[in-house]
Structure 1
Amino acid sequence: MGLSILLLLPLCFPGLMLAGLQGQAPAAEESRREGSSLLLRCPYAAQQRQQLKGWGRLTGGQWKVLLETNPPQNSSTNQITMGRVSVRDNSTSRLLTILVTNLQAEDSGSYCCSLRSPLPGSRPLPLKIISLNVFKEVHRWELDTVSVQCKYRAEEDKATPKVWCRRGPSGCQPWLKTEPSWAESSALGGSALGGSALGGRALIQDDPQAGVVTVTMRRLQAQDAGTYWCALHGAWQPARLMELRLYVSKRTKHCRAKESEQLSVQCLYNPSEYSPVSKAWCRAAAGEPCSLLLSTEVEAPGLLRRSQRGRVAIQDDSLQGIVTVSMSSLQAQDSGVYWCALREQDVLLRMAEVVLSVPGGNRGGESSCGKPEDLAQVGSTERVERARGGSKDLKYATLRFGAQPSPQDALYCNLEPSQAHRGPRAEDVQYASIGLQQLPASGKG
């Protein structure tokens, strides 16, 4: 077995056993978010100064040079740029630098910093090999839809089934698989997504003529967040075509009510999509399904559908897309977590989460959870969105002020928190000055 491997190496990587390349490390995976950049530095030996430097991709078992420097001149720096790729050779420091900007999912693959003799007909040699994974990162709210397209080699892979799988400790677990007829799509028997059946919430479609697989996930829930692969259904394990890192945020409202009084809470939805769907109010407990308390009837006539049971009433304004829930004669034991939810075939999909607190002995006064638009906004705590999985791009923060500063005050934000532990160089520090205008005396923040 060892002899066979040694014999095959020169065929795949011509000249790999030459001096200076014997210690080539295995390809390391570099993961980057779509739209970000890849910066790769490849040092080389003094005797390799006169060789042409380039950037190559492994295609069909052979290295194909995508961009290569010109023959060395008198200058110590030799640089060439084409499209999104830049190759820079500094012969003084013996350093080859590759920069690829605006990465796309289809850029995923095996690449190398390459060396080649200036002699005609010479073949490129891999100096440093990487496996590049460019993933899509998508942020959505609950009940939103996400749709992605995955490209593949139309001729070679059109007959291979395609799968949509979710990454976990035991590998990538398939959730959806295309049928042999390619144009059809199906859910794998007994599969589940976020604790509910896949049937109406996820779809996979294969267009073999274009070489494109389209996956759509609808009515998202927070538990749908995770890492997914669009993949070829191989004999041993799925072969990744594209990776999606999905983040799903839930809308949460915190309510503090008083005993013996009434609570009224409103939840918003898109009437063009969800008007004909039954709305529900349920109580959630940790590790348990949300327990249904009350729901509207979709067959009820008119634009206002109302139901009541005991102390709880629910009304659905299907024209404006507002669900109003009332709970009267509140008691301390009513404290807990509730959902405004869609109810489809006895499956509850959360629209918004309401955390209710009713402290005992606090009688009198009116209790309310605010205006309908409150539930359409980001939660009450500061929300930081960051690129995951080793991405070194900028971080984004939503700032919330407890008190209004003076209009003359300036606020500064360091956009790279990782620099806090070391003394920043002048060119590293990035900041923003935020100007604030004085609000009218009657204005509300």
Structure 2
Amino acid sequence: MTGLKAEDSGTYLCAVNKYRNVLKKVSLNVFTEVLRWELDTLSVQCPFRNAMAWCRSEQRGCTVLAEIQIPSKRSAAESLQGRASITYYTQGALTVTMRKLQTRDSGVYWCAEDPGLTRIKEVVLSVFKRTQQHSAEESGSVSVQCHYKISDYGAVSKAWCKEEGEKCNVLVSTSPEPPAGHSTAREGVRIHDDAQQGIVTVTMEQLQVQDSGVYWCALQESSGLSRMEEVTLNVSRALPPGGFPDTEGNSEEILLGDSPEPSSNGNTFIVLSVVLLILLLLALITCAALAVRHYRLLGRTGNREAEDTSDRAEGAAQPGSTGRRESSQADSKGPAYINLDVQSHPSPEDPLYCNVEPSQAPRNPQHVEYAVIAFSQSPRSGRE
């Protein structure tokens, strides 16, 4: 089945024609989906019936919003709410109209045959709201503009209200009469309605943090307020010239548990980040200076050890130890000499020995020299 229409809704059977045995039942519901903005108008064509109703489908049934009997060629019926109507024309068509739509009007609706409210056509309606967001600092000002259709709402009074729970308290209005519902006076708030352009302009001055919240540009009628646009306003605390929040005058608010505004939190985070970055750089510079100093100390210690090592190489073997020296091919042709550095000697009568290891001796010695050393007294220090 292609090109389905609302009239195709119903129950269908899969059956064997010869014996008319029902194999399966299929319930088909063809609905129409409609998307609208707030304050738009919905128009729906319904099939012709002598008694028709426009109702909203709910769990407990279908709530009638408008209904009509057709005793004559042309008639019209208005709902008690004044926003839904059914109109019949001689062409045999019924037109359902809903005006000043709001988000709460989203839902499922039926063109139903009355009595019994048998569904003939189903409409799924989704209504979306227009939104704005504005930010300002404390003691500053903000200006908001809302648009509307001149042909539909040019002559209707406009209002600016603040949402408080399920209600919207009117702050200022273009109507000379007292507004319906709740009203709260607010100094520094002005509203201007340009009926030639279809623009409502609202200005708020000397803003305070408590002015943050959700506001409406709304139509103001005797029946109540109809939202045109929703405006979210965020007022942040202004920083003092030093760049840090002033907490002396706000000690009571802090004790009461008031949380800082988003913009002040952001500024504090930036300041803390800069301070931490400076401390990190200072730590890196200090570490680098210590490393250079340590490296220089290690260099000086290495030079001293090298000097000590060279002095020991020039000296001879200590008493009671074996003196050694490296031999080369040139040394193999002559005698080997060993220097002795005697720092002290307990007694001149004790012998002094010096051994030459085989690795230091020449392979084919031609002659060998012996040396006998005797001391008349203990030498203090020196080299022989």
Range 171-180 or range 217-226, more displaced: 171-180
Match in the other structure for 1:141: 37
SS of 2:137's equivalent in the other structure is coil
- 2:235 is matched with which residue? 358
Deviation of 1:185 after TM superposition, in Å, equals: 3.5
1:269 aligned to 2:160? no
2:17 equivalent in structure 1 = 116
Query: Which among 140, 154, 177 is matched to residue 67 of structure 2?
Result: 177
Larger Rg: 2
* 1:386-405 paired onto structure 2 within 5 Å: none
1:260 touches 1:363 (CA, 8 Å); kept in 2?
A: no
TM-score (normalised: structure 2): 0.56
Residues of 1 paired with 2:8 and 2:92: CA distance?
A: 16
The residue that corresponds to 2:190 in the other structure is 313
TM-score by length of 1: 0.49
| In structure 2, C-alpha distance between the alignment counterparts of 1:346 and 1:174, rounded to whole Å | 20
Matched, 1:348 2:225: yes
Alignment of 1:406-445 (within 5 A): none
State, as a whole percentage, how many aligned pairs show the same letter. Answer: 48
Give 2:84's aligned amino acid: A
User: Who is 2:77 aligned against?
Assistant: 186
State the AA in 1 paired with 2:174: T
Q: How many residues are treated as equivalent by the alignment?
A: 233
Measure, in 1, the Cα distance between the counterparts of 2:94 and 2:22.
Answer: 32
Q: Match of 1:358, SS?
A: strand
Q: Give the structure 2 partner of residue 164 of structure 1.
A: 54
Give, in whole Å, the separation in 1 of the partners of 2:176 and 2:10. 50
> Aligned equivalents of 1:260 and 1:206: distance in 2?
57
1:106 aligns with 2:7: yes
CA gap of 1:220–1:362, structure 2 versus 1, over 3 A, is farther
Structure 2: how far apart are the matches of 1:187 and 1:273?
Answer: 18
Local SS of the residue matching 1:113: strand
Name the counterpart of 1:206: 88
Q: 1-side partners of 2:38 and 2:108: how far apart?
A: 17
Does the Cα contact within 8 Å between 1:177 and 1:185 map onto a contact in 2?
no
Report if the CA contact (8 A) 2:159-2:172 is conserved: yes
Query: What is the deviation of 1:138?
Result: 0.2
How far apart in 1 are the matches of 2:240 and 2:39? 37
Distance 1:259 1:104 in 2: 57
Unaligned runs of 5+ in 1: 1-99, 118-122, 192-197, 300-307, 365-445
Superposed, 1:22-421 pairs within 5 Å as 100-117=1-18, 124-152=20-48, 157-158=49-50, 161-179=51-69, 181=71, 183-187=74-78, 191=80, 198-199=81-82, 201-207=83-89, 210-234=91-115, 237-288=116-167, 290-297=168-175, 310-362=187-239
Does the Cα contact within 8 Å between 1:255 and 1:354 map onto a contact in 2? yes
Looking at secondary structure, tell me which structure has more helix per residue.
2
Cα distance in structure 1, aligned partners of 2:176 and 2:121: 40
CA distance in 1, matches of 2:112, 2:58: 15
One-letter amino acid of the structure 1 residue matched with residue 33 of structure 2: E
Q: CA RMSD in A?
A: 2.4
- Distance in 2 between residues matched to 1:363 and 1:111, nearest whole Å: 75
Gapped runs of 5+ residues in structure 2?
178-184, 242-384
